[in-house]
Amino acid sequence: MPELPEVETVRRGLEPVLAGAIITKLDCRRPDLRFPLPERFATRIEGHRIVTLGRRAKYLVAELDTGEALVMHLGMSGRFSIQHFEDQTADPASSNGQVAKAAFTHVNATDPTHDHVVFTTQSGNTVTYNDPRRFGYMVLVEESERETHKLFSGLGPEPLGNGFSAHHLAKRAHGRRVDLKAFLLDQRNVAGLGNIYVCEALHRSGLSPLRRAFSLSTKNLSPTKRAERLAASIKTVLTEAIAAGGSTLRDYAHADGSLGYFQHAFAVYGREGEPCRTKDCTGTIRRVVQSGRSTFYCPKCQR
Partner DNA sequence: AAAAGCCCCTGGACGC
Partner DNA sequence: TGCGTCCAGGGGCTTT
Give the residue with the Cβ less far from DNA, 23 or 242. Answer: 242
Binding mask 205-244 for DNA (x = CB under 7 A): --------x-------------------------------
265 touches DNA (CB under 7 A): no
Burial 191-215 (b: 16+ CB within 10 A, else e): bbbbbbbbbbbbbbbbbbbbbebbe
3-state secondary structure of 121: strand
- Interface stretch with DNA, choices 11-19, 187-195, 219-227, 278-286 (CB under 7 A): 187-195
- Interface stretch with DNA, choices 84-92, 101-109, 119-127, 171-179 (CB under 7 A): 171-179
What is the C-alpha separation between 135 and 225, in angstroms, rounded? 38
Q: Out of 168, 176, 204, 229, which residue is the one contacting DNA (CB under 7 A)?
A: 176
Q: Out of 45, 57, 169, 230, which residue is the one contacting DNA (CB under 7 A)?
A: 57
Catalytic (active site) residue 157:
no
- Report the amino acid identity of residue 34: R
CB 224 within 8 Å of CB 197? no
DSSP states of 24-69 as a string? EEEEESSSBSSSBPPTTHHHHHTTEEEEEEEEETTEEEEEETTSEE
Q: Out of 121, 130, 195, 205, which residue is the one contacting DNA (CB under 7 A)?
A: 195
76 touches DNA (CB under 7 A): yes
Element (H, E) at 234: helix 225-249
Q: Which of 298, 233, 234, 236 has its CA nearest to residue 271?
A: 298
| Size of the residue set binding DNA (CB under 7 A) | 35
2, 5, 159, 223: which one is catalytic?
Answer: 2
55, 56, 58, 271: which one is catalytic?
Answer: 58
Q: Out of 12, 44, 49, 293, which residue is the one contacting DNA (CB under 7 A)?
A: 293
**In whole angstroms, how close is the CB of 292 to DNA at the nearest point?**
6
Binding mask 103-142 for DNA (x = CB under 7 A): --------x-xx-----------------xxxx-------
Q: Which of 277, 274, 264 has its CA nearest to residue 204?
A: 277
Strands in the chain per DSSP E: 22-28, 48-56, 59-64, 68-73, 79-88, 101-105, 115-121, 126-130, 137-142, 258-259, 286-290, 293-297
Which residues of the chain form contacts with DNA (CB under 7 A)?
Answer: 1-3, 6, 34, 57-58, 73, 75-77, 111, 113-114, 132-135, 151, 176-179, 182, 185, 187, 194-196, 213, 261, 291-294
